[in-house]
Every structure is written in C-alpha cells, then in structure tokens.
Amino acid sequence: MCLVSGPAFSIPMQAQFNDVEYDMTVSIDPVNRTLTGKSTITVKQPRELQLMLGAAFEVTQALSNDGTLGAGREVSNQPHVWNIPVAFRQQVQFVIHWQGSLAPLDTSLDHQQTLGRPVAVSGEAGTFLPDGSDWYPRVVGHLVRYKINIELPAGQKGLVAGRLVEENESQQGYQALFEFPNPAEGIDLMAGPYVVETQIYEGVKNRPIQLRTYFHPQISDLSRDYLVSVKRYLDKYESWIGEYPYTEFSIVSSPTPTGFGMPTLTYLGIDVLRLPFIRDTSLGHEILHNWWGNGVYPDYRRGNWSEGLTTFMADYAYKEQESSEAAREMRLGWLRDFSALQPGQDAPLTSFTSRTHGASKIVGYNKAAMFFFMLRDQLGDAVFQRAVQGLWNTRRFKITSWQDIQKVFEIISGLHLDAFFTQWLDRSGAPSIVINEAKSIAAASDYQLVITLEQSEPIYQLRVPVAIESEQGVQIHSLDLRQVQQSFTLTLSEKPLSILLDPDLRLFRQLEPGEVPPILREVMVNSATQTVILSHQGEARKVAETLANKLQDRIPQIISPAQQISTTAPVLIIGLQSEVDTWLGNQQLPPRPDEIKGKGAAQVWTINRPQGASLAIVSAQNAAALEALLRPLPHYGRQSYIVFEDHQVIEKGIWPIKMQKVMVK
C-alpha cells in the first residue's frame, strides 16, 4: 500500500511566518453537506497580504479594521481573493463569514483518485476538508497559528491537527475546540461517526502525550492494538531523534482508501487500517512525519527532503531491523524502480515537491532515501546519528532546505560535504559504473591486482565497493573513483579469481541490463508502453481496458493482437487464460513459468526479452477474476510475478538478479 504524507493535496508555497493567527468556528451538516463558518484573522506587523477562499463558497460578510472587504470576486465559480496593501500599524484584523455546499463523499475512489481531488467532501460516513480545497479563508503563503471550534450534529465527531482543548457532546450535537500554537502550513479537517478511544503515553521527561483513535464503529475493535503500536513508535523515535514535538497523536479512519499524515495525526482508510501489516509499516512512517515534514518544514522551493528522510528512517529502518537481506532487497527495489524510468521522467531531488505519480515517488522517496543511506555510509553510524539529532534540535518548526541539512551535517561531522550533496541533489539520473578490466600479477609473496573502473559522464565522486573472490573467501574493498576511467592497484595475500561490483547495492547507480530482472513497474511508468487486450468483446474486454488504465495511470496505447508488438518499448498483455496461452504460442514466447503454473484464479508475470523491453502478462480465469485485480495489482509494481486468488496475493516473487562479475585475468 502506497501512502502519501504531508498536508493533504496542497503543495505549499514558500511560507513565511509573520505571526498570523486564525480564530475560527465551523459548523458542518454532513447529511445536507453544508458548511457555515466565521474566521477572525489577526496579522501582527502586517506586510502586503493576499487572502483566499475557494470558489465553492459564498462570502456573507467580510470586514477589516478599515471597513468592508467586499466579496473578493465579481464572477461566481471563481475563488475569492482579497489583495491587502501594506498597513502601517501594529496589527490588522479580518473577520470573514462564509458558507457553502460540500461535494458528496465518493467511497468508490481509490487512493490515486482521492489524491488527485483537492475537493471538500461530506457525507454521513465522513467529512474531509483538505487544505488544498481552500475550504476556509486563509492568508496565502504564510505559516499560521490557529484555534478552531468545530460544530457537528449528534453522532458525529471531528478534529483538526492540534491539541484538543475541550469538547462537549449531547443530543443537540457535538462541539470541539482545537488549538495549534506552532507555525502550521495549512489546516485539514476530518469528521465522521467515530468511536474514540484514548490512552496516555509517558514520553521523555515523563511528559504525558494523549493518544486517540477516531475509528468508524466497524473497526473500533482495532483501536487498542493501534494505540500499543503508536507507543512503540513514539518511544523509538524519541530515543533516536529527540522529544516528540506535540501533546497528542491520533489515528483517524477514512471511508475512502486514503493515507495522509498531518501534525498530531494520520488519516487512513478503513480498509487500509484493516490490513495486518499497516501497524508495522505505514503507521510508523506517518508518525515519523511529525518530526520530518510536520516538525521540521521542507523548503518546497528547493526540494522536499522530508519524504526521503522519513522513508530511510521508517520503511528502510524496519527492513534493516528484519535482516540485512531484507534491507538489501529494498535497496534493489529502489534501483530496479529507477531503471524503469525513461528519459524525461527523472528529475533532480531539488525539484521534487510531492508525490503526484509513480515516477515522482521513485525520485522523491526512493532516491532521496538512498541519498541518506549513502550519507550514513560516508559519515559512519555514530556521526550520522548525532547529525540527525542536531537537525532536529536546531531546525524544529523552521522551514529547512537541503542546504540547511548540509550545513548541520557538516558542522556535526567536521567534513566538507558540498561535492556529495551537489552531485546527488542537483543532477538528474545516476552514474553507470562498470569493471573494464581486472588482471593479477604474481609477486614473490603476494599478488598485485589491477582493477580498472569506468563511469558515465558527468563524473561523480564515488566510493565503489568491490568484492574480490579467492579460493579462501571474499574480501570487500572500497575504491575512490574520481575520473571517467581509473585504475586501482591492490596488494593481496591470496590469488584473486573474480570481482563483483557493488554486490551489496550500496550505491545509487544505473543497473546494467543483466542486473535488472523485469518487474511490472516497467509497463506502469513508461509512457511508450503498448497494451494488447486479447479479449475482443464482452465484460472481459471492458474490465481489461479499465485495468490497463489503472496500471498505467493514463490513457493506454492499445493495439490489436494481430499488430506487431514493439521491440523497444514495454508491452502489457491482458486476457483470459486460453487467450494468453494461444497468443504466447503464436508469438513464439515462453509459456507461463513453472513458479505460477496452475496456481490461483489470476496470474501476472514478466518476460525479459533478450533484445528489447520487457513484457508484462496478466492472465485470468474469467472476467470476475480479472476485475478482482483492479485495486490490488497497481500496488505490486516491484514484483516479477504475482498469483491472485480473488483479491488476495497467494504468491509473488522477483526473478533472480545477475550481479556484474568479471573474471580476473
């Protein structure tokens, strides 16, 4: 399950903090999908300002110290915008009353569709007002403090990020007051028919932290296990990084399959929360965002580093705890995903702001996580640990750029890291490294091994690990590669037989063709992918077209089964089992592999063509088995083969990797 973090939907502008405060009351009727609000905005030492409210709402009154502000627009269906000139006074205050209808809640949307809809929605099953929908009047481009009073009908409960100051519940309705005293990038509001469970966590210095679950009734039995997991993560990250920055943390269920992280809470779909592995994976990622992203703010103009650092210290750290093999497998997954990108899909880390599609996740999450992995390798565990703590201690609640991170790590380590940061942050792509030659010269009592490495341009400064195999075993050496081609001489006590390049995959690099087993991701991210639908008509054809669209997140390029398939672009084949077997035979391609033969109701596998891009084949017993793949299959892009029984994966795997190996002459 791919979850997204940070303020829901919005890609924040470069924010400033000019002591802006909101005092807001919001009344929501989920049945009638209406919202009524009053907001008092106070700006101290004001400069030129812009206020904005979404087009879906009507302004009933707007005042400032100087009188009426007007509606902020002349034409309906346009945002309300007020441009406020510089005011030469200690503070200025605006009072805006607004109301409007909310869009209906659509529980049929998947995560990608929800991510792409910055719309304020409401219904009895849930209300979600993402900051990106401009559901409240806001000062554009400024961090703010706020107090929000939420009013809802009886049976509903709501919240925003922050501290719950007070709440009241009666037959007449529900009311809750929240405050967020730290600078915040935006406000997301959630409500629903929640059952709330509460526990206390004693943090460092015995500071009590209020933990809550706001769960729909059908999953309220999961609350206690989730609260136990939250305590475990808070204990881990407080000891690793520093004190948790807030007084509470809540897990909130959503009727749609969402996954968002905000300060003091995470908003996860009901079906997501039911997944048994979420407490050990995605939950920790979302909690960690209270340090990175919602505790130290990225400077979005110069790149969002928070997703990479969170992925490294959460998702990847869990794999390291599991085993070195599991951690290596995750690094291999990052490199395989990157190899699936085509020219033009990559971008420098300094240009990544938020995940919008699979290609941006490969850069902003995976490559950035590998950056921190390599930085730790360069500095050592102890220095890296102190630098992470120093970053938290010095940048808490501050807008922080990659350059600010570099300064902290340089101060803690005492090293100049400009070359390292510049080559990995400012460039797109990755170096390609090969062993050009390896030859051994026997001396009187030892062996002189000459290794020649070659890298692509532009030149990177790299510490390249090589494994030297002899009859006595394997030795790892690091070679400092600084040129396009460079030779290194090593003195060895045993006769070298062969050399493996970066066998543990500790460098972010372009894998050589033999090192890249084909995976489903290749047909998903490549815009040139061709799609062949073998079913000519009926329900199977309709479902296959929908699946092709979901897998590629775009309108697929569909060609006829009779047409010549591409040899240079990936090809996606979708059909029923008999159709697939016939097509494979006609194309003189290998039959379905033994690993999946005769298993499950649907099978997916990839074929690595000796020349040309890979094939991905989706085969199902019938239209119903094909339809069952619509939601789960897009989440398995890193696999080479998958077997489904209904919606469940019963087998999956990756074809073996062939490491770059050279025999010593």
Positive or negative: CA dihedral 112, 115, 121, 124: positive
**Region 336-348: what's the mean pLDDT?**
85
pLDDT of residue 515: 84
In terms of C-beta density within 10 A (0-12 exposed, 13-18 middle, 19 or more buried), how is residue 208 classed?
Answer: exposed
Confidence band for 4, pLDDT divided at 50, 70 and 90: very low
The predicted structure's pLDDT at residue 484:
97
- The pLDDT of 218-230, averaged and rounded, is 97
Characterize the bridge pairing of strands 496-501 and 462-470. Answer: antiparallel
pLDDT for res 12 = 43
Q: Which of 354, 231, 220, 353 is nearest to 283 (CA)?
A: 231
**Residue-averaged pLDDT of the chain:** 92
Tokens of 361: 């996740």
**Which amino acid, 481?**
L
Residue 657 pLDDT: 83
Query: What confidence tens digit (pLDDT) does each residue in 33-45 have?
Result: 999 999 999 998 8
pLDDT at 344 over 90: no
In CATH, the architecture of 16-288 is Sandwich (2.60)
Domains 16-288 and 521-653 share a fold: no
Spatial separation of the C-alpha atoms in residues 22 and 180, rounded to whole Å: 10
User: Between 659 and 51, where is the model more confident?
Assistant: 51
Q: Check residue 498 and give its pLDDT.
A: 96
| Beta strand residue intervals within 314-461, DSSP E | 399-400, 433-442, 447-455
Lowest model confidence (mean pLDDT) among 290-304, 430-444, 607-621: 607-621
* pLDDT-derived band at 113, boundaries 50, 70, 90: low
Q: At 236, is the pLDDT very low, low, confident or very high (cuts 50, 70, 90)? A: very high
Q: Average the pLDDT over 601-618 and give the result.
A: 88
Determine the length of the chain.
Answer: 665
Instruction: State the pLDDT confidence band at 357, using cuts at 50, 70 and 90.
Output: low
Contacts (Cβ under 8 Å, ≥6 apart) of 129: 35, 102, 120, 121, 135, 136, 188, 189, 190
Q: Running DSSP on this structure, what letter comes out for residue 350?
A: G
Residue 93 and residue 112 in contact, taking contact as beta carbons nearer than 8 Å = no
DSSP string computed for 533-586:
E---SHHHHHHHHHHHHHHHTS--EEE-TTSPPPSSS-EEEEEEHHHHHHHHHH
> Does CATH place domain 433-510 in 2.60.40?
yes
CB of 226 closer than 8 Å to CB of 251: yes
Please choose, from the candidates 331, 246, 308, the residue with its C-alpha nearest in 3D space to the C-alpha of residue 502: 331
pLDDT at 191 exceeding the cut of 70: yes
Q: What is the pLDDT of residue 13?
A: 42
Judge residue 206's burial from the number of C-beta atoms within 10 Å of its C-beta, 0-12 exposed, 13-18 middle, 19 or more buried: exposed
pLDDT at 47 over 60: yes
pLDDT at 355: 67
Average pLDDT in the 611-628 region?
Answer: 91
- Is a pLDDT exceeding 50 seen at residue 526? yes
Omega within 30 of 0 (cis) for the link into 591: no
Higher per-residue confidence, 204 vs 547: 547
Residue 18 pLDDT exceeds 80: no
pLDDT of residue 543: 95
How far is 216 from 197, CA to CA, in rounded Å? 11
Q: 655 vs 165, 510, 587, 600, 640, CA distance in Å? A: 54, 18, 22, 19, 6
Label residue 8 by pLDDT band (50, 70, 90): very low
DSSP line for 54-100: -TTEEEEEEEETTEE---S-SSTTS-EEEEE----SSEEEEEEEEEE
Residue 481: partners with Cβ closer than 8 Å, 6 or more residues away? 433, 453, 455, 460, 461, 462, 463, 464
Count of CB atoms within 10 A of residue 320's CB? 14
Domain 521-653 class in CATH: alpha beta
Residue whose pair of structure tokens reads 């004693």 in the numeric block: 202
% of the chain with per-residue pLDDT over 70: 95
Domain 297-425 has CATH 1.10.390.10: yes
- Compare 159 and 65 and report the one with higher pLDDT: 159
Q: Cβ atoms within 10 A of the Cβ of 593, count? A: 15
pLDDT, mean of residues 134-162:
96
Question: What's the pTM?
Answer: 0.85
Q: Residue type at 579?
A: E
Token digits of residue 448: 């002189």
- Lookup result for tokens 């989706």: 618
Q: What are residue 83's DSSP bridge partners? A: 50
Mean pLDDT of the region 556-579: 90
Report, as an integer, the average pLDDT of 446-474: 95
Distance CA 370, CA 47 (A): 41
Q: Per 3-state DSSP, what percentage of the chain is helix, strand, and coil (rounded to 5)?
A: 30, 35, 35
14 touches 49 (CB < 8 A): no
* Stretch 485-489: mean pLDDT: 97
pLDDT-derived band at 549, boundaries 50, 70, 90 = very high
Nearest residue to 644 (alpha-carbon basis) of 580, 600, 597: 600
Q: 124: closest CA among 185, 174, 192? A: 192
Domain boundaries, the chain: 16-288, 297-425, 433-510, 521-653
CA atoms within 13 A on the CB side of 273: 29
- Please give the pLDDT value at position 514: 77
Q: What pLDDT, on the 0 to 100 scale, is given for residue 248?
A: 96
pLDDT of residue 252 exceeding 70: yes
The answer to whether 286 and 267 are in contact (CB under 8 A) is no
Q: What is the mean pLDDT of residues 113-121?
A: 76
Q: Map residue 120 onto helix, strand or coil.
A: coil
Which pLDDT does position 569 carry in this prediction?
Answer: 87
Two tokens at 474?
A: 């394997």
Distance between CA atoms of residues 42 and 33, nearest Å: 29
